[in-house]
Structures are given as structure tokens and as C-alpha cells.
Structure 1
């Protein structure tokens, strides 16, 4: 991204926070606070370009407003910038928090969500009463015309902001899923790093197929969203005191605090630091999703005066016990788990034989014929984007179910490495088939424990099975040293002719489908091995999706 592009993105970010037309002086002042020393004349110059592109619109002498196209550009246009922006957004919210807990005055960070069934409020109230929330303080507004109900709740980032105001550096690390057994927190099962995703981590896990908040409350065992952050060990005593004071006024949700340099709930804590786990502020909304209700989530999008919020319940009875300092297995990220499989790929490009990595998705045997028809239609509608290879395999335990194995894109990394070419899986993403195609969401392979494509599928973000061809598909970015480019291109072209999904081979420093790789490397975009499975899911067939699952002989696979 050039410096000029960076400035224009920042101008769009300023405009998106305004609720009225904004002039160049206000924009220049806002940019100066962000470290961009642009005068009004320079701002006007950039605004003219944004007007021409349709990203902004002039409103007389009052200034500019951002257009819908501008919002889309800001949110997804420079996806590699968006990956960095998620963490910076939380840093900004932490800085803007000025809540004075002793006086109970000031701004807090909030999640603002929309629900469509008034009965959902009762579910929320049950979660707040259980103590599985950051705070019972909420604001509820119902639109009598539409029936939509806007619910504002306090985000756990507020606690980071309060700590910073007290001179304590709190560093958000991960959002994930925390396993509860017999009302006791055991360990994190899934994680996404705040620094390596274009999707807010807890939003990625806010899905009824992933959480089991209601089970955690009703039976004492389940999976709940939670966050993990680090603070300097020397500040532990002050931090504990502040957390206790916050809890007394109704802002809490702290699940556990580690000893200095000691693991917490399966996560390593560096020497000199302590770890803090806090329940996800979206937990009540996850319970609503588990009931099958529709809900739109906005996580840590704004700050709100604490005075505008009031308790939804005065009875808080948390059954959760404090976690014990027991030793639990460390949680490997998806790339760490995958390297041993990548190492075992021995596909021979000349003989077209050997092991590849397969994803395996299980479904009811009775649905297999329909599933195969959907896969075939998806491939015939656009063979460029859908891998045609599959293998039907038995379910290891249930004769009424059957598995469909498809080629995982990590197989391509294994093939290149076998041929002496280093290939690093960098990002897994959602690719929108515009002209040219553009990634609209990305998660780093090295920043998540769950295959990113499973996340996109669980959130119904794909659009693969359209009659007119796919619109949003799964794809991956690989990073390969430039010195190997000629050899790599030769192999990639052979693989593409065989039927492996190779979408684009980039050049050094080229933004390939809006993705960026490090200097002295080039990017390769490959199709996701779960695209055909995504087409099946979109048609309403239940699937248990297992990504990066096992090795399969390529020559034993069938072709659509």
C-alpha cells in the first residue's frame, strides 16, 4: 500500500465515525492525532480522488460523507491492512476508555447487537444472572416499527482501558473458546490471535456450532467465548485490586489470573508477565444463537457513557469456580499441527501418485446422492474454482454416516517442498470473485488453532453453489522465495493441469488478489479444499467438517 493509499484509508476511517458531513479541517485535525501531518489542502486533494472513486460524496459547503462503496472499501478493500487494523482498533478503544471506576463515571467500550425476537431478552437475562458475562449493565432500545431490538452491553476491553488509565499495560493476545467442566474452567480449546486476523476473534467463534453456553450454565460443562491478555508481573497486586473494585460495581467476568510466568488454562505466560482470562462480552448473545435465533453482532465498535447503561438483573450467582494450576496440554496452532502432515506428502507429479493431505467431512449416508449432485453441479458451473477430486470413506464409528475426502490446499505446499521449493502457508481467506477477485477476509495460518475455512463455513460466509457460478469462495495464500520462481511456476502449472486449484501466481511485491507477502517472495493463490463441501452445506445438508484431517493416496481418489 502506498503512502497516498494509506492516507485515503485513514480519511475514510475518520468519516465513518462521523454522523454528519465533515470538512477538511476536522479531518486534518483527526489525522494529526493519528500521526499523519496533513494540512487542509492535502486533505482536500485526497478527498477529490475519493470523490472520483465514489468512496465519498460532497454535501455542499458542509463537507463530505462516506458512501456505501467507501464503507466497503474501508472494511474489505485493503484486506492486508485490515488484518493489522483489527488489533489497532482494540488499541484505540482501550485508549478512548476513560471510565473512572471509583466515581462510576465516564466512557466504556460496548458491544452493540440487534436481536429480532423479544423472548431472546429472557435468555440473555439468564446468562447475566449466571455471571457468564462481563457486566449486567445494558441498554435496550426497541424499534416499534420494525420490531428490532438494539442491545448494548459492556465489552471486556473496558477492563484493559481501565488498567491503562491506571498506568498498567494490558496486551490483548487471543480470543477463543474456553472449556468448562463441572463448573470449573479447564483450558482453552481454540484460539485466534488478535494480531493475525481480519475478523474480530470472538466474532469468529460466535456460532451455535462452536459454543455451548447454555450447556455450561445448565449442566456445568460446555464451551464459552473468552479472551486472554498479558500484563507485567510487577503490576499484579494493583491489577487484582482494580479488578476486585470493578467487580464490586458490576464490571467483572475475570475467570482466572496466573502467577508470574506460569501457564493459565493451557496458554503459556512469559517470564515476568501474568496472564488474565476474561469471559467474552458476547457470551449472552452466543446463547441466543444456540437457541436458533437470528442476531447481528458488533463487537467493540464504539464507546458509550456508562450512565446510559443500567443493570438487567440485580441477582448475580456465578457457579464458576476458580481454575486450578493443573498442567494441561499446550494448544497448537493449525500450522504447527499441519507441518507433520505436509512433511508426509509424497505425491509424484510425473506418475500422479502418492499421498496428499485430505479434508474429511461426514454426513448421513442417505444424503450422499444429493451431496454428490451438488458437488458435480458446483464443479460444472465453474471448474476453475472447484477442485474435482474426492473419495468416499467410511465413518470410523457410525455406519449410518459416510465421509467425503477432498484435497486440502496444504498438499500443494508439501508437493513443492518435496521438489526442493520452500512454501509457507500464510493466510486462509474468503475470496470474492469480482474482476479481479479480491480477498475480503483473512486469518493467518499461524494465528489460529482452528482451520480458517471451517470458521468461514460455520458462519455461512461463502456463496459457492449459485446457479450462475460461485461468488464468495475459500482460498489460501502461500509465500514462496522469489529465487525459486521459475521452478515453482513449472510445478504449479503441472499441478493446475492435473486438477489442483491454482488460481494465481504472483510476482515479487505484487498484491495478489489484494493479499501481500514479504519482500523477496511471491504469492500463490490456491483454492480451498472445502469449496465443494461448502456448496453442499449451502444447500442445507448437515455436515461434520474435519479440515486437514489425514493422508490419502491421490490415485485412489475419484473425479467429478
Structure 2
């Protein structure tokens, strides 16, 4: 992305922050605050280009405002910036929280979601009464001439804001899934860092197939969404006192607070710090999803006056017990696990022999013929973007199922490293095949316990198979030192000719398909072996998606 495009994206961002049309002088002033020295004349030039593209429109003499097309462009335009924006957005919400728990006045951070069935309110009420929420204070707003009901609930980020106002800084670290057994929190099973992702972590885990909130309420066993943050240990006593006072006014959701340097729920806590786990603010909404009811969940969307919220129930009987022990095995993150497989890749590009890393996904044998037909059609319709290699593998325990192995993109990292070239897998992403293609979502490999591509498949974000608009496929972004560029390009070209999906080899400091490599490095965009698997799922076939599973000899794979 050029500097001019970057400036235009910033102009669009400024326009979204104003409810009315604004002029070039105000835009120039705000750009200056962002570090862009652009005068009014230059702003008008950029605005003219934006008008021509349909991203903005002139409203008489009042100035310009952003169009829906412009909002869509802004959402996709700086994904490499968005991966930092999510964390910054929560920091902004924390700063803007000015709730005074003594007077019960001020602003809190809220999630505003939309339900389409009034009976869903009773489901939510049951979850609130179980204590699996940050607060029973909500706001219900029925949309006129519609079945839609907007539900506003308090987000756990509010507690971080309250602590900050009392001089206790919190570091929001992860959102994830927390395992519950006999009503006792055991450990986090999945996590995504709030840094280096364009998707809000809990949003990634809000699928009905991933949570079991209702089972936790009725049986005491299941999985709930939760957040984890750190505070300095010197502030623990004061923080506990504040949290106790918050409980008395209906703001809680605290699952566990560790002591100095004490591990908590499978997560390490550095010396001098204290870990705090809080129920995810979206937990009541996840219960609605589990019943198959339609709901649109939005996370930490805005700041709202606490006085506009009212308790949905006064009967709160928390069902979660305190964790008995924090001595749980530490949860392994994806990249450290993957490095051991990456190092074992020994594929020889000249002989086209050797081990590569494979994803192995399982389907019913009854669906095999249809699945193979879908894979072939997917490859034939877009051979430039789809990897044609696969291998059928027996299921280890179920004779009714069969595995489909495909080449994992981390094989490319392993091949380059085996040839003396350092290659770091940076992001797994969702690539929209516009011209040029653009990443519209990115998740850092280093900050997740799940393969990013598996997350995008579970959230039905792909459109790999016969889509009328721009296709959305799975791709990864890798980073390679510039000093090794010549040899790396040579090897990557051979891989591409072999059938590996190599989409783009970037240049130093270049934004490559909307992803950015560090200085003195260049980026490589490669396709995922899970694209054909995503196509199968898009056709309604039940498939158990597994990524980065095992090593397989390349020469034993078949080709579509």
C-alpha cells in the first residue's frame, strides 16, 4: 500500500469518527495530530480521489461524509494496522471508563448484541442468575417495526477501567475457553492473544460448537468463554478490595485471582504480577447460540452511562466454585508446538521427495466420493490458488470415517529452514481475491493455541467453493530475512512449479496483500492446504478439521 493510499485510509477513519459532514480544514488538523503533514489543498486533492472511487460523498457546503462503500474499504484497507488496532481499541475503552463504584455513576464498557426471539431473554436471564456474567445490568431496546431486540450488557473491560482509575494498571492478555468440571474452573483449553489479531479473541470462540454454557449451568460441566489479564502484585490487596465492593453493586464475573507469580488455570504468571480470570461478557449470548437461536454478537462496541442499564434479575446465585489448585499443566501455544514439526521437514525440492507437514481432517466414508468431487472442482476452478495434493488416511479408531491429508503451509517454512534460510510463520489469514488480493483478517501464529485457518473455517468465513463475488480463501504470511532473498526466491519458484500454493513474494518494507513484514525482511504469501477442506464444509458436509497434524512423505501423496 502506497503512502497516498495510507493517507486516504486515515481520512476515511477520521470521517467515521464524526456524525456529520466535515470540511478539509478539520480533516487536515486531525491528520496533523496523527503525524501526517497534509495541508487543506492536499486534503481536497485526496478527497476528490475518494469521491471518484465512491468512498466519500460531498454534502453541499457542509463538507464530506463517508459512504457504505467507504466503510467497507476502511474495514479491509489496513489489516496490518488492524492487528494492533484490536488491542488499542480495548485500551481506549479502558481509558474512557470513568465509572465511580462509590456513587454508581459514570460510563461503563458495553457489548450490544441483537436477538430475534423474545424467548431468548429468558435463556439469558437463567445465565445471569447463575453468575456466569459480568453483571445483570442490561438494556433491552426493541427495534421499531421489527422482531429485533438490541441487548446491551456490561463488558469485563469495565473492571480494567475501574482498576486503572484507582491507579492499578491491567494488561489484557488473552480471551479463550475455560473448562469447568463439577462447577469448578479447571484450566483454559484454548486462547488467543489480544495483540496481533484482527479478530476479537472471544468472537473467535463464540460458535455454538465451541462453548457449552448451558451444560455448565445444568450439569456443572462444560466450557465457557473467559478473559485473562495481569496486574502488578503490589496492587493485589487494593484490587481485591475494589472487586469486593463491585460485587456488592452487581459487577462481578471474577473467576480467580492468583498470588504473586502463581500460575493460574494453566497460564503462567510472571514474578511481580498477579493473574485475574474473568467470565466473558458474551457468555449469556453464547447460551442462546447453543440452542440454535439467531443472534448477532458484538464485543466491546461502545461506552455507555451506567444509569441507562437496569438489572434483569435480582436473584444471583453463583454456581462456580473457587479453583482448588492452580497447578495445571501449562496450555501449549500453536507456534512452539509447530516448530518441532517444522524442523523435521526434509523435503528435497530437486528430487521432490521427503517429509512435509500435513493437515488431516476426517469425514464419514459415505461422504468421500462427494468430498473428492468438491475438491477436484475447487482445484479446477482456481488452480492458481488451490493446492492439489492430498492423501487418504485411515481413522485411528473409527472404521466409519476416513482422513483427508493436505499439505500444511508450514511445510514451506520447514523446507526453507532445512536449506539454511530462516523463515518465520507470522500470520494465518483470510485472503479476499480482489485485484490485487487483500488479507481481510489476520491472526498471529505466536498468540494462539488454535490454527488460525481452523478458526476461520469454524466461523464460516471462507467462500472457497463457487462464489459469485470475490472469493475468500485461506492463506498465510511468512517473513524471511532480505539477505537470503535470492536463494529463497529460487527455492520458492521451484515449489510453485511443483504445485505448492505460493501467491506472492514481497519486497522489503512492502505491504504485501495487506500484510507487513518487519524492516530488513520481506514477506511471502502462501495458500493453505485447508482450502479444499473449507470447500467441503461449505457444501454442508460434516468434517472434523485438524491442522498441523503429522509428517507425511510428499512422494506418497496423490494429486487432484
With the length of structure 2 as denominator, give the TM-score of the two structures: 0.96
Structure 1 distance, partners of 2:278, 2:41, is 46
Distance, in Å, in 2 between the alignment partners of 1:103 and 1:3 is 48
Offset at residue 28 of structure 1 (A):
6.2
Tell whether 2:421 aligns with 1:421.
Answer: yes
The separation in 1 between residues aligned to 2:413 and 2:439, in whole angstroms, is: 20
Paired position in structure 2 for 1:268: 268
Deviation, structure 1 residue 41: 6.8
Cα deviation for residue 344 of structure 1 reads 0.9
Q: Is the 8 A contact 1:382 1:469 kept in 2?
A: no
Output the CA distance in 1 between the equivalents of 2:342 and 2:497.
21
Q: Secondary structure at the match of 1:519?
A: coil
Give the drift of 1:477: 0.6
Shift of 1:143: 2.1
**Kept after mapping to 2: 8 A contact 1:378/1:469:** no
- Aligned counterpart, 1:301: 301
**Contact 2:86–2:194 at 8 Å: present in 1 too?**
yes
CA contact (8 A) 2:508 2:521 kept: yes
User: Match of 1:536?
Assistant: 536
Residue 64 (structure 1) shift = 2.4
SS of 1:196's partner is coil
Q: Deviations over 1:242-277 (max 9, x none)?
A: 111111111110111110111111111111111111
1:61 CA displacement: 2.6
Match of 1:129 in 2: 129
Q: Give the direction of change, closer, same or farther, for the CA distance of 1:469–1:248 in structure 2 (3 Å limit).
A: closer
Q: Residue 353 of structure 1 aligns to a residue in which SS? A: coil
Residue 149 of structure 1, CA deviation: 1.4
Determine the structure 1 residue equivalent to 2:178.
178
1:352-389 CA-partner distances (Å, limit 9, x unpaired)? 12111111111111111111111111011111111111
Q: CA deviation at 1:60?
A: 1.7
Cα pair 2:9 2:77 within 8 Å, conserved? no
> How far off is 1:63 after superposition?
2.9
CA 1:68/1:144 → structure 2, altered by over 3 Å: closer, same or farther? closer
Q: What is aligned with 1:384? A: 384
Identify the residue that residue 233 of structure 1 maps to in structure 2.
233
* 2:446 match: 446
**Alpha-carbon displacement from aligned partner over 1:173-211 (angstroms, at most 9, x marks no partner):** 111111111111111111111111011111111111211
Alignment partner, residue 366 of structure 2: 366
Answering whether residue 84 of structure 2 is matched by residue 80 of structure 1, we say no
| Cα distance between partner residues in 2 of 1:9 and 1:469 | 23
- SS of residue in 2 equivalent to 1:371: helix
Q: What SS does the aligned partner of 1:126 have?
A: helix
Distance 1:341 1:256 in 2: 35
Rounded Cα–Cα distance in structure 2 between residues aligned with 1:51 and 1:157: 38
User: How far does the alpha carbon of each residue in 1:380-433 deviate from its partner, in whole angstroms, 9 at most, with x for none?
Assistant: 111111111111111111111111111100011111111111111011100000
Deviation, structure 1 residue 553: 1.4
Q: Bigger shift: 463-472 or 305-314? A: 463-472
Distance 1:27 1:214 in 2: 49
What residue number does 1:464 align with? 464
Residues 228 and 249 of structure 1: is their aligned pair in 2 closer, same or farther, counting only changes over 3 Å?
same
Q: How many Å apart are 1:456 and its aligned residue?
A: 0.3
Alpha carbons of 1:8 and 1:101: their partners in 2 closer, same or farther (altered >3 Å)? farther
Gaps of 5+ in 1: none
- Conservation of the 8 A alpha-carbon contact between 2:262 and 2:326: no
Partner SS state of residue 60, structure 2: coil
d(CA) in 1 for partners of 2:3, 2:349? 43
Partner residue in 2 for 1:246: 246
Determine the C-alpha separation between the residues in 2 that align with 1:380 and 1:297.
37
Cα offset, 1:120, TM superposition: 1.6
Q: Distance in 1 between matches of 2:28 and 2:253?
A: 39
Task: Please state how far the C-alpha of 1:557 moved relative to its aligned partner.
Answer: 1.2
CA contact (8 A) 1:176 1:192 kept: yes
Alpha-carbon contact 1:232-1:273 (below 8 Å) kept: yes
Other-structure match for 1:277: 277
Q: How does 1:287-366 map to 2 (within 5 A)?
A: 287-366=287-366
Query: Structure 1 pair 6/168, CA: closer, same or farther in 2 (3 Å)?
Result: farther
Look up the SS of the partner of 2:545 in the other structure: strand
Q: Distance in 1 between matches of 2:455 and 2:36?
A: 36
Do residues 474 (structure 1) and 479 (structure 2) align? no
Say whether 1:15 aligns with 2:30.
Answer: no
Instruction: Structure 2: state its 5+ residue gaps.
Output: none
In structure 1, distance between residues paired with 2:23 and 2:249: 41
**Greater displacement, 448-457 / 135-144:** 135-144
Change (3 A) 1:468 1:66: closer
Asked if structure 2 preserves the Cα contact closer than 8 Å seen for 1:104 and 1:306, the reply is yes
Alignment partners' CA distance in 2, 1:95 and 1:37: 27
1:73 deviation in Å?
A: 2.3
Tell me, in whole angstroms, the C-alpha distance in 2 between the residues paired with 1:370 and 1:470.
24
Question: Paired residue for 1:71?
Answer: 71
Q: CA deviation at 1:40?
A: 6.6
Q: CA separation of 1:260/1:5 partners in 2, compared to 1, >3 Å: closer, same or farther?
A: farther
Deviates more, 1:195-204 or 1:468-477: 468-477
Per the TM alignment, residue 326 of structure 1 is displaced from its structure 2 partner at its CA by 3.2
User: Counterpart of 1:395?
Assistant: 395
* 1:496 aligned partner: 496
SS at match of 1:315: coil
Query: Once the 2 structures are TM-superposed, how far is the Cα of residue 330 of structure 1 from its aligned partner?
Result: 1.3
Deviates more, 1:6-15 or 1:166-175: 6-15
Q: Distance in 2 between matches of 1:385 and 1:306?
A: 50
Q: CA deviation at 1:108?
A: 0.8
Distance 2:96 2:4 in 1: 27
3-state DSSP class of the match of 1:544?
A: coil
- Contact map agreement 1:429 1:452 (CA 8 A) in 2: yes
Q: CA RMSD in A?
A: 2.0
Aligned length: 560
What residue number does 1:212 align with?
212
- Deviation, structure 1 residue 22: 3.4
